[in-house]
Amino acid sequence: MTKVAKQTSHERFDARDRLIIALYAQLRAERETREAMEWVIRNGGLSPEVLEAMASDPISVVTADDIKTVENSLKRLQLDHGSVHP
């Protein structure tokens, strides 16, 4: 009987996959920030204090749910293209 080592999510993806995940997370955070700014402008909250607070707010931290979503997307892409990593 052979033992199969259980891989963690980070071991399944190579450096290129992890870069894609990081870039996706950054893009998502930037889109959320832009959407928030658009909402403030449309709803008349364009005070200097609000804009200053939004401009100085750091980009959101990537959550475990974000990583899980990207990993699931990558799995679907890999299955669709027949390139599943060992």
Extents of the domains making up the chain = 12-74
Residue 58 backbone dihedrals phi, psi, to 5 degrees: -70, 160
- For 12-57, how does the pLDDT look when each residue is reduced to its tens digit (9 = 90+)? 778 888 888 888 888 888 888 888 888 888 888 778 887 787 778 7
Greater pLDDT, 7 or 55: 55
List CB contacts of 9: < 8 A, sequence separation 6 or more: 67, 71
SS3 9: helix
Residue type, 6: K
Separation CA 13–CA 84 (nearest Å): 10
pTM of the model: 0.45
